[in-house]
Structure 1
Amino acid sequence: MAIPDPTAAGMAPLTTVSTRTAGQRLAPHAKSFGNFLVVILLTYLGLLAVTFFIGRVIPIDPVLAIVGDRAPAHVIERARQELGLDKPIYQQFYIYLSKVLKGDFGTSVLTANPVMTDIKRAFPATLELASLGILIGAGLGVPLGVWAAVRRGKFVDQVVRVIGLVGYSVPIFWLGLMALVVFYARLGWVSGPGRIDVTYEYTLTPVTGLLLLDTAMAGEWEAFRNVFSHLILPASLLGYFALAYISRMTRSFMLNELAQEYVIAARAKGLSESRIIWRHALRNAMVPLVTVIALSYAGLLEGSVLTETVFAWPGLGLYITNSLQNADMNAVLGGTIIVGSIFVGLNLLSDVLYKLLDPRTRIR
């Protein structure tokens, strides 16, 4: 008996049906990815535009910062032409945008180095400081917030709330100075300002710029202890301020989850209280908490200016501060763009993690 041809009967081949189904399944994902890219491009374009126009309205003349205010008029005019500041504002923005997209932020007046070179040197110090700070803040803040929510209205809850209130209220520069006086000057438990002692600074060859990692990779354990002794105090200070915010938000999210019906149902089924809290309620609370931790990390990466100033920490915050004080606008704008990019990147990362943790947000 002859096998009927499916195409002759008006039926599509099986391979065509499968391909079409796969295409229909991939279409929403492709559309979502396209929208994602558009959001990234528009966000970065807005960031560059805001940064550029803020740099133009600040009452600091970049030409005078380069040639000095006593330079002859023809020298000032020539420098203005070479920098393109004599062109219309839209042409200046186009030139600025084309250079930034190539990674060219200009030359620093303060150091005479390319701004990107200075940022590559300073950013690892801030990254190391903020990373240890967020590990301390999230590692302690989440359990404290959960504990406060479970013991709502009791002594533990009050203590956690007071810790958070102090973290919000006390100026970070004052707390940093007091910490130096107590733990460095009086007790001698930690090393003082700076990132590493001069004894080890010129014997260590940086590889990643993260001195804890570099000393560990080189097997220089005395230098490792010295770096850690310098790092632990400012990192703990930043971690405390992150802890204040994260514990407060964790408490709020957990109180909301513990009032849900699934918690009541789990208790009715006889599940242990620890399993309900840590495996069910906290798991659901982690969905919005990921965004909180990511933004806290971004805040530590850009908001450690005062901490780096107090502890003479050679990071990005101190670099931007010194550049602003010396009217080095190329360095200021370059550092601002890096900080803005960090915020954008961590926001996008938190969105991705949000979708991974919460199946309801995924495309079906």
Structure 2
Amino acid sequence: MPVGPRTRLILQRVLQALPALLGVVVVSFILTRALPGDPAAYFAGPAATAESIAEIRTTLGLDRSWPEQFVVYVVDLLQGDLGQSLSTGQPVLAELLRRLPASLELTLTALLLSCLIALPLGIAAAVHQGSWIDHACRVLVTAGVSLPTFFTGIALVYVFYYLLGWAPSPLGRLDFIYLSPPEVTGFYVLDALLAGDTETAWGALRQLALPAITLALFTLAPLARMARAAMLQALSSDYIRTARAAGLGERQIVYGYAFRNAMLPV
């Protein structure tokens, strides 16, 4: 059966990713076994006897040789078994799925916010090259790339929560005065709106604001830089010079022709 070029490309990418994936699996296995501490003793608790620790070690398969443990480790990974959490004792996969909606809500909000700011800012910086808008865009891009997210987050909490008191306490997804909305999507803001509880939705949105802004500042920088570079390339192209020579208005040239072509690589 002939294989198309797109299918062949996908297969090549998958085959190229296999060594890296295998390396990650091997390194993670070695780290979990080589680090100090006994997981069996941790699960058993401080008052456990040597017999109970040995029983837990046998249950976890830690009494086997490393090659045997590695085979079991890979088989469990292929079956979706990521082990048990040391802090909660629950399956890791269940813990990840339980926290996934909160992570997705934060990530999507930050991405939407960064797109709403970065794209207009990059386009305005390209259209008004050398102006204060262009310089502000460069400063923001440099700050977004150079400042680590943990520093930006701490600075925002210090200013807007500790100094100004505008933001709620940076703990959890909702303040203690609100009740969690009925779960539909797992997104607190959307679930509260679906339940008709605008007050809880507003509380969840306020709680989400500072973390979303922190992530947005990090993702905003490359988006604004790409938008500015793509717009500058579009504005210097031959068809834009032809449109200007034909007497078309600057607004139509920028937003009708240059903008649409500049957004393709972005």
Equivalent residue, structure 2, for 1:91: 68
Separation of aligned partners in 2, 1:171 and 1:30: 39
Q: 1:225 aligns with which of 188, 202, 212?
A: 202
Separation of aligned partners in 1, 2:198 and 2:264: 39
Equivalent residue, structure 2, for 1:173: 150
Q: Are 1:236 and 2:223 matched, yes or no?
A: no
Shift of 1:141: 0.6
Equivalent residue, structure 2, for 1:55: 32
Contiguous gaps of at least 5 residues in structure 2 = none
Shift of 1:269: 3.8
Q: Are 1:190 and 2:158 matched, yes or no?
A: no
Point out which structure has higher relative CO (alpha carbons under 8 A, 6+ apart).
1
1:97-246 matches, cutoff 5 A: 97-193=74-170, 194-201=172-179, 204-246=181-223
TM-score by length of 2: 0.81
* Structure 1 counterpart of 2:179, one-letter code: E
CA contact (8 A) 2:169 2:175 kept: no
Deviates more, 1:35-44 or 1:143-152: 35-44
Equivalent residue, structure 2, for 1:325: none
Separation of aligned partners in 2, 1:236 and 1:176: 8
* Structure 2 counterpart of 1:110, one-letter code: S
Separation of aligned partners in 2, 1:85 and 1:280: 64
Separation of aligned partners in 2, 1:277 and 1:47: 46
TM-score by length of 1: 0.62
SS across alignment from 2:178: helix
Equivalent residue, structure 2, for 1:312: none
Shift of 1:263: 3.2
Against the structure 1 CA distance between its residues 77 and 138, is the aligned structure 2 distance closer, same or farther, given a 3 Å change threshold? same
* Structure 2 counterpart of 1:130, one-letter code: T
Deviates more, 1:31-40 or 1:112-121: 31-40
Against the structure 1 CA distance between its residues 35 and 269, is the aligned structure 2 distance closer, same or farther, given a 3 Å change threshold? farther
Q: Are 1:267 and 2:244 matched, yes or no?
A: yes
Separation of aligned partners in 1, 2:23 and 2:256: 41
Deviations 1:247-286 (A, max 9, x none): 1232233333333334333433444433443444444443
Contiguous gaps of at least 5 residues in structure 1 = 1-22, 290-364
Against the structure 1 CA distance between its residues 129 and 27, is the aligned structure 2 distance closer, same or farther, given a 3 Å change threshold? closer
Against the structure 1 CA distance between its residues 161 and 68, is the aligned structure 2 distance closer, same or farther, given a 3 Å change threshold? same
Against the structure 1 CA distance between its residues 72 and 199, is the aligned structure 2 distance closer, same or farther, given a 3 Å change threshold? same
Against the structure 1 CA distance between its residues 272 and 172, is the aligned structure 2 distance closer, same or farther, given a 3 Å change threshold? same
Shift of 1:55: 3.2
